[in-house]
Structure 1
Amino acid sequence: MASNRLACRDCHHIVEPDEDVCPHCGSNTLTEDWAGYVVITHPETSEIAEKMEVEEPGEYALKVR
């Protein structure tokens, strides 16, 4: 995980620093101010995905400010 990656404030999806829009939800509210990192591979069977309301596999920030 590169420290300069961004997190979407809306869906917590991790995106590359050169992106202006979250490819996951389409939001443009991206931030460098995030903490924690989780990779969800099978959201349909993941308790963490359920708590985070994640329905798609991917990389997510646990806390976004």
Structure 2
Amino acid sequence: MAKKRVVCRDCHRVNEPDLDSCQGCGSTSLTEDWAGYVIIAHPEESEIAREMEVTEPGKYALKVR
């Protein structure tokens, strides 16, 4: 069984399962308890990115617990 990806509780970025810190912001507050995600390719042109306060392209979780 494959390991679940982890999400940063601070910036909501989806990360690979075996990381100790977020690839986006460096936070160590990671969780496997999340739901749904969005891929943001061009944050400077995206209303969703503005709403989520995302400035870097990547995968971001919609709900993080």
TM-score by length of 2: 0.94
Q: What is the alpha-carbon root mean square deviation over aligned residues? A: 1.3
State the one-letter code of the partner of 1:54.
Answer: V
Q: Report the more deviating stretch, 2-11 or 19-28.
A: 2-11
The share of aligned pairs that are identical, in percent, is 69
Kindly provide the amino acid, as one letter, of the partner of residue 15 in structure 1. Answer: N
Shift >3 Å, 4+ stretches = none
Number of positions where the alignment pairs a residue of Structure 1 with one of Structure 2: 64
Corresponding residue of 1:30 = 30
- Cα offset, 1:3, TM superposition: 6.9
Give the gaps of 5 or more residues in structure 2. none
Instruction: Report the alpha carbon displacement of residue 23 of structure 1 after superposing the two structures with TM.
Output: 1.3
* 1:53 alignment counterpart: 53
Structure 1 gap ranges (5+): none
